[in-house]
């Protein structure tokens, strides 16, 4: 990996600057975003960005706060009401947000056994909740701690693999550079995943680090993990209230016009016997959720390919992949959404998903900001080199609005 590749994106604007409003080129309420119908892209020529890139620290510390008490897990049956912030949240993610100490396997177990009920009825972990619904929650527990002792050879290798993936770590937070091809959680046909690997990091109390968000199996880059229940609660809240900023890089077919814009649609899951995908839906369709993505072209290779930077405002399943396919610029190597006919992959490029969770900026649970960038994975670095793309260019998505 070249030294230039590890160079982070441009330094975030100071809080005082952000308070003044969106930056020039993505002005809120002004052209190119005014008066567009749902699902349409803006028109108009965006301004050029020439601001130089600057180095920045990965973590800007603030004055340490006193440790907040972690919410206890319920020891008896309780009924809670879904709040407005939790509207349209999946059942499993609702439980993770309310009780960060729970393991994924324990959540699946209580849902599968019917111990969790929504308005008195059994629920599936993928069902989405509505504001005002009553959720019956059974007694919960943390996974029992494993006995102290030396790690096995396999566990030692797993721990080393996690260390090699680590981009940032402190007592509360871990940011991993997840490689493409490694699943985040278990599922049908998956034998190795990040959630399972984190078992080797259980502390003396038996608590293991918890996933705060997810990436698709073939997407590489920044994956946030909470090492304590306190951190899990704070970080999950940051995602729920959209105070976390995520930036992705992708290689797409063709060159989007205009070169900077906003994609706004509704997305709904479409199930089939063999697979499921997210389709563009209409407002009011069953299971449809609003999804917003800002995009900006960073550099092009002739008119056949473009390196785009993406900022998702919402966090829907496959949102970036579905949105880029929707504007007819599907992500190269996407097995689900690449639908361009008579399009040949340029020689030397690997037919793998070219999508990187490039950068994550999120408030630290104890004050300050975590700002971490991931390098291009090997197959994308190879493509950048073959196409002559300069991976340390200024990223124009930096100035996109936060909503």
Residue 86, pLDDT score: 84
Q: What residues make up the domain containing 125?
A: 78-137
Structure tokens belonging to residue 161: 């693999």
Rounded mean pLDDT, 263-288: 89
Domain end, chosen from 137, 160, 181, is at 137
* Closest by CA position to 289, among listed 8, 24, 87: 87
| 59 confidence band (pLDDT: 50, 70, 90) | low
Rounded mean pLDDT, 163-169: 96
Structure tokens belonging to residue 372: 């971490």
Residue 141, pLDDT score: 67
Whether 247 and 212 map to the same domain: the answer is yes
199 part of a folded domain? yes
Least confident of 81-85, 173-177, 203-207: 203-207
Whether 113 and 159 map to the same domain: the answer is no
Helix (H, G, I), strand (E, B) or coil at 32: coil
Residue 341, pLDDT score: 81
Whether 119 and 259 map to the same domain: the answer is no
Residue 93, pLDDT score: 81
The pLDDT > 90 percentage for the chain reads 48
| 41 CB-side CA count, 13 A | 20
Rounded mean pLDDT, 41-68: 44
Average pLDDT of the chain is: 81
355 part of a folded domain? yes
Whether 119 and 251 map to the same domain: the answer is no
Where do we find the tokens 């441009």? Answer: 10
Least confident of 58-72, 135-149, 178-192, 244-258: 58-72
Helix (H, G, I), strand (E, B) or coil at 271: strand
The pLDDT > 70 percentage for the chain reads 77
Q: What's the CATH number where 101 sits?
A: 3.10.290.10
Whether 279 and 372 map to the same domain: the answer is yes
Q: What's the CATH number where 39 sits?
A: 3.30.2350.10
Domain end, chosen from 110, 137, 164, is at 137
| 108 confidence band (pLDDT: 50, 70, 90) | confident
| 45 confidence band (pLDDT: 50, 70, 90) | very low
Q: Are 131 and 82 in contact (CB under 8 A)?
A: yes
What are the pLDDT digits (tens) for 126-136? 888 999 999 99
Least confident of 103-107, 293-297, 329-333, 358-362: 103-107
Whether 127 and 223 map to the same domain: the answer is no
Q: Where are the beta strands (DSSP E) in 183-342?
A: 210-211, 220-226, 245-253, 260-271, 276-281, 289-301, 305-312
Whether 91 and 239 map to the same domain: the answer is no
Beta-carbon contacts of 197 under 8 Å, excluding residues fewer than 6 positions away, are 158, 161, 162
142 part of a folded domain? no
Q: Are 136 and 79 in contact (CB under 8 A)?
A: yes
146 part of a folded domain? no
Q: Are 146 and 206 in contact (CB under 8 A)?
A: yes
Residue 143, pLDDT score: 54
Whether 117 and 16 map to the same domain: the answer is no
Rounded mean pLDDT, 349-378: 95
* Residue 57: pLDDT over 60: no
Whether 63 and 131 map to the same domain: the answer is no
96 part of a folded domain? yes
Please give the radius of gyration of the chain, using alpha carbons only, rounded to the nearest integer. Answer: 22
Q: Annotated active-site positions, please?
A: 216
Least confident of 21-35, 79-93, 262-276, 287-301: 21-35
Residue 88, pLDDT score: 84
Highest mean pLDDT among 9-23, 96-110, 171-185: 171-185
What are the pLDDT digits (tens) for 288-308? 999 999 999 999 998 899 999
162 part of a folded domain? yes
Least confident of 147-151, 238-242, 260-264, 283-287: 147-151
What are the pLDDT digits (tens) for 191-249? 889 999 999 998 877 778 999 999 999 999 999 999 988 899 899 999 888 889 999 99
Q: What is the DSSP string of 129-166?
A: --TT-EEEE----PPPPPPPSPPPHHHHHHHHHHHHHE
Whether 157 and 271 map to the same domain: the answer is yes
Residue 142, pLDDT score: 58
For the chain, the domain total comes to 2
Label the pairing between strands 220-226 and 173-178: antiparallel
Whether 165 and 197 map to the same domain: the answer is yes
Pairwise pLDDT comparison (2 vs 189), residue with the higher score: 189
* Residue 175: pLDDT over 50: yes
Domain end, chosen from 87, 111, 137, is at 137
Supply φ then ψ for residue 365, to 5 degrees: -55, -25
How far apart are the C-alpha atoms of 175 and 370, rounded to whole Å? 9
């Amino acid at each position: 990996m070249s030294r230039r590749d590890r160079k982070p994106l441009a330094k975030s604007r100071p809080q005082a600057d952000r308070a003044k409003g969106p930056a020039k080129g993505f002005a809120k309420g002004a052209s190119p975003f005014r008066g567009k119908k749902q699902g349409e892209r803006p028109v108009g020529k965006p301004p050029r960005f020439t601001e130089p890139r600057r180095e920045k620290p990965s973590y800007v510390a603030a004055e340490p706060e006193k440790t907040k008490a972690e919410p206890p897990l319920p020891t008896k049956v309780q009924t809670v009401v879904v709040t407005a912030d939790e509207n349209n949240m999946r059942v499993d993610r609702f439980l993770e947000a309310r009780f960060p100490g729970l393991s994924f396997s324990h959540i699946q177990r209580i849902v599968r056994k019917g111990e969790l009920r929504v308005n008195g009825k059994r629920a599936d972990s993928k069902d989405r909740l509505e504001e005002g619904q009553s959720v019956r929650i059974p007694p919960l527990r943390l996974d029992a701690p494993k006995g102290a002792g030396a790690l096995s050879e396999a566990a030692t290798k797993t721990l080393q693999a996690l260390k090699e993936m680590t981009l940032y770590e402190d007592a509360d937070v871990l940011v991993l550079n997840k490689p493409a091809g490694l699943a985040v959680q278990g599922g049908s046909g998956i034998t190795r995943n990040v959630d399972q690997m984190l078992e080797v990091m259980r502390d003396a109390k038996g608590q293991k680090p918890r996933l705060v968000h997810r990436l698709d199996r073939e997407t590489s880059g920044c994956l946030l993990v909470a090492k304590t229940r306190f951190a899990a609660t704070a970080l999950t809240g940051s995602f729920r209230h959209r105070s976390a900023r995520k930036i992705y890089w992708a290689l797409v077919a063709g060159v989007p016009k205009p070169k900077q814009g906003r994609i706004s649609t509704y997305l709904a899951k479409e199930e089939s016997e063999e697979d499921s995908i997210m389709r563009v839906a209409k407002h009011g369709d069953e299971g449809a959720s609003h999804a917003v993505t800002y995009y900006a072209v960073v550099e092009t290779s002739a008119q056949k390919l473009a390196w785009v930077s993406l900022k998702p405002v919402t966090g829907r399943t496959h949102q970036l992949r579905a949105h880029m396919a929707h504007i007819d610029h599907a992500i190269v190597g996407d097995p689900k959404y690449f639908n361009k006919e008579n399009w040949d992959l340029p020689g030397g490029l690997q037919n793998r998903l070219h999508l990187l969770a490039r950068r994550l900026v999120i408030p630290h649970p104890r004050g300050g900001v975590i700002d971490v960038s991931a390098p291009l994975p090997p197959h994308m670095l190879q493509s950048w080199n073959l196409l002559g793309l300069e991976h340390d260019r200024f990223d124009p998505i930096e100035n996109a609005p936060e909503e």
